[in-house]
Chains A and B, each alone.
Chain A
Amino acid sequence: MALTGIEIYKYLPKTNCKKCGFPTCLAFAMKVAQKTVNITICTDLSAESRAALEAAGRPPIQLVTIGGDSKKIEVGNETVMFRHEKTFFHPTGFVYRLKDTTPVDSILQEVQAIAEYKVERVGRFLAMDGFAIENASNDAATFAKTVEAVKSKTDLPLILISKDPAAMEAALAKATPGKPLIYAANKDNWEKMADLAVKNKCPIAVTSSDGLSELATLAEQINKKGIEEIVLDPGARDFGTSLTTLTQIRRLALKKNFRPLGYPIITFPGEGAASVDLEAMLAGQQVAKYAGIVVLDHFSPAMVYPLLTMRLNIYTDPQKPIQVTPGIIQIGTPKPTSPVCVTTNFSLTYFAIAGELEAAGWASWLVVCDTEGLSVLTSWAAGKFDAEKIAKTIKNFKVADNVNHRNVVIPGHVAVLRGELEEELPDWKIMVGPREAVDVGGFLKQNWKN
């Protein structure tokens, strides 16, 4: 968490020696808080004070990075309990679990399918974030071989799952560099696992099902070994315990600044659910309620597409809806005879209609009005998508220069605008399109005469 000037001042020597170039320690502290000067300029600051300052300035939930430079999962560093208070920053990482008891061939097929999977939504590509490999065989060599095989196939981040430090060591030899997450240190193996994390410079998960005190103890012990990047598994598996426990951990970190549990959380919804759909539902809950990494035991497009959409929704900044730039957009290669359609600049709205025009094979001119990122009905109700606005947009972007006709299609939801629009645009014929974008192809086929 960013410290205030006053908080920083507490750690300074308070001698006002001016060597930093500022008249007082307080003035210096204020500048440090604004991030215009660096704390290291004060040469009189003791090593302890500096360490204490850094600790105090650490975010209440540590940022943890898993994976290499090209593809990585960054989780943690959240600052609020509720997204409306600010926003959630680091989207939940979705990871698929493989087991080293599965034949390598089929593992590699799965890896390829999942690593290649991407689905487009509002102009973005949504995808899975990585793989967890579990040492289900309990054999170190098999584990290492599987990890090596997976690693050869994908550069997505990895989570290595084993209780056995020897197996972990063997797997790490194949998985590093690349910063895999070590899963997991428990009360029996934590020292050895922590040593591996230090040696390989990897983040490490700690797990305990014996309550939060036990978990905090473990995390603290590991942190004392000099490891900052820790992930928590409180062992909460079903809907109720997950919600309760993850809420408690988030509150402890944010409201009590309780360091030993100030880390992102990993969950395994497949272990708390009796079917694929329940796994998806629990994973969906965990996106909203405080999981940093969700390890899935099933993968199918029908399950993952909704989940990735859920994540996109929950992690959208509530202050700024996803928007596109207003203007005249060419769908395909439109000709002077091609249709002119009007829409708003809310991404969801824009991509819905643009996608349907494209899918139906209608090269066209799509006029995107600036509605401050609001949908058709919302912006109409808010007075930001009226006849005047549409007319102005059509004039400003010189739509008429591109076409040899004067027909414009408006969304069916704002059919009421027709009359006024006819007044605002006397040269144009206003056509009321269908309500839903899916029907636009059929509509044009029937009604577009050019």
Chain B
Amino acid sequence: MPVVEIPVEKWNGQVHQVKLGGVGGRKELIVGGDNTLPFLKFEGTVPHRPAIAIEVLDYTPPNWAEPLVKAWGDVLKSPVAWAKKAAEYGANAIALRLRSAHPEEGNTGAEHAKRVVTDILGAVDLPVIVLGPEVAEKDNEVLVAASEAGRGQRLALGDCFDKNYRTIGATCLADGHVAIAKTPIDMNLAKQLNILLSDLGLTMDSILMDPTTGALGYGLEYTYSVMERLRITALMGDKMTAMPMICTVGEESWRQKESKASAGVPATWGDQEKRAIIWEKLTAMGLLNAGANIIVLRHPKTVEDVKVAINKLFA
């Protein structure tokens, strides 16, 4: 009888552990700490399961796909009600996107950001991730305001790009938050930005990285592979690629035609709502298996099933 010896990789490295919340009655969320590939408990430890954050916008999204509007209903009009609902749906964290600060989407400023962040922090006891509109100057403006509003609450603030990492990194440092470093699907750029942030003084347990999500059919394979490479490099001992990874799955997936189009598409695409939700679920599954530590989702049904899958992977 052939003797099967399960090959076990001996890794030297480990993903850093990062804690969000956990202060002043706020729930604690710890991600990372793995010293093996995703979910492979037979060869290492995976101390924390990947977390699910639900995305909440600071304004009523003007052009969301019909199935999302249907699922959330009236709460889309109030970030606070929306966040509470997200907590009911089982989010491990709220990912608040300050999209209304975008120059083309309302151009709101620091005051508005401060107010929404304060309201959300008051309304839910979950850890909060605050994301800017991804326009460097506006990011600086609203994220600094958000940082001050949440001082000491250990938020995660993003995104730090090569252009604005100094301001956002500094405010994270001053107010005790975690910085999210976002780079365009490139291992060297990711590593470089992590180094720049740590040169500012942020410790290894205060940085998350966003490798940039490509949705299923829209670059998923690139994200998948860069994440696998980042994780493997981290496990081989490179501390500057060992930050836990956060992926904006919902945002990317629901942007695509497959999710948005209700008519005028081939019959072979099938029912829009079912297809769109599976689109988001498969994007999530792919990236969880590539090493995602936090998945930011949009549809409640996706949240429910991704949770089931994570629990089974983790069991």
Contact = CB atoms under 8 A, between A and B. Distances in A.
B2 A216 contact: yes
Interface string B254-274: 000110110010111111101
A398 B257 CA distance: 33
B184 A381 contact: yes
B269 A305 contact: yes
A82 B312 CA distance: 23
A316 B274 contact: no
Interface string A198-210: 0000000000000
Contact of A118 (B2, B229, B261, B268): B268
A89 interface: no
Contacts of B6: 212, 248, 251-252
B269 A119 contact: yes
A239 B309 contact: yes
Interface in B197-223: 216-222
Contacts of B261: 438
A162 to B, nearest CB: 26
B229 A84 contact: yes
Among A119, A277, A316, max chain B CB count under 10 A is at: A277
B285 to A, nearest CB: 5
Scoring A212, A281, A301 by chain B CB atoms within 10 A of each residue's CB, the highest score goes to A281
B217 A220 contact: no
Nearest to A211: B4
Contacts of B306: 281
A383 to B, nearest CB: 14
B271 A288 contact: no
Contacts of B305: 275, 277-278, 281
Interface stretch (A153-161, A254-262, A388-396): A254-262
Contact of B270 (A247, A275, A302): A302
B232 interface: yes
Query: Which range holds the interface residue count of chain B?
Result: 35 or more
Interface of B: 1-7, 37-42, 184, 216-222, 224-226, 228-229, 232, 257-258, 260-261, 264, 266-272, 274-275, 277-279, 281-282, 285-286, 289-290, 301, 305-306, 308-309, 312-315
A167 interface: no
A260 B221 CA distance: 31
B35 to A, nearest CB: 16
Contacts of B41: 244
Contact of B4 (A247, A255, A261, A310): A261
Measured as residues with beta carbon below 8 angstroms from the partner, the interface class of chain A is: 35 or more
A406 interface: no
Nearest to A310: B282
Interface of A: 82-84, 117-121, 211-213, 216-217, 220, 238-240, 243-244, 247-248, 251-252, 255-256, 258, 260-261, 274-275, 277-278, 280-282, 284-285, 288-289, 300-307, 309-310, 312-314, 316, 318, 348, 352, 359, 375, 378, 381, 436-438
A300 B282 contact: no
Contact of A213 (B3, B269, B289): B3
A212 B313 contact: no
12 contacts: A83-B224, A243-B38, A244-B39, A247-B37, A255-B7, A300-B270, A300-B274, A301-B269, A302-B269, A305-B270, A318-B222, A359-B264
Contacts of B272: 302
Contacts of A247: 37, 40
Contact of A438 (B257, B301, B314): B257
Contacts of B3: 213
B285 A216 contact: no
Given A217-B2, A260-B2, A300-B274, 4 more contacts: A243-B289, A252-B6, A305-B268, A310-B220
Contacts of B37: 247
A378 B269 CA distance: 27
Nearest to B304: A277
B315 to A, nearest CB: 5
A316 B281 CA distance: 20
Contact of B286 (A117, A258, A284): A284
A245 to B, nearest CB: 10
B281 A280 contact: yes
B217 A309 contact: yes
B314 A240 contact: yes
B113 to A, nearest CB: 25
A82 to B, nearest CB: 5
B285 A281 contact: yes
Contact of B289 (A220, A285, A313): A285
Contacts of A83: 221, 224-225, 228
B270 A252 contact: no
B39 A243 contact: yes
A306 B282 contact: yes
Contacts of A359: 264
A285 B32 CA distance: 21
Contacts of B285: 281, 284-285, 288
B184 A316 contact: no
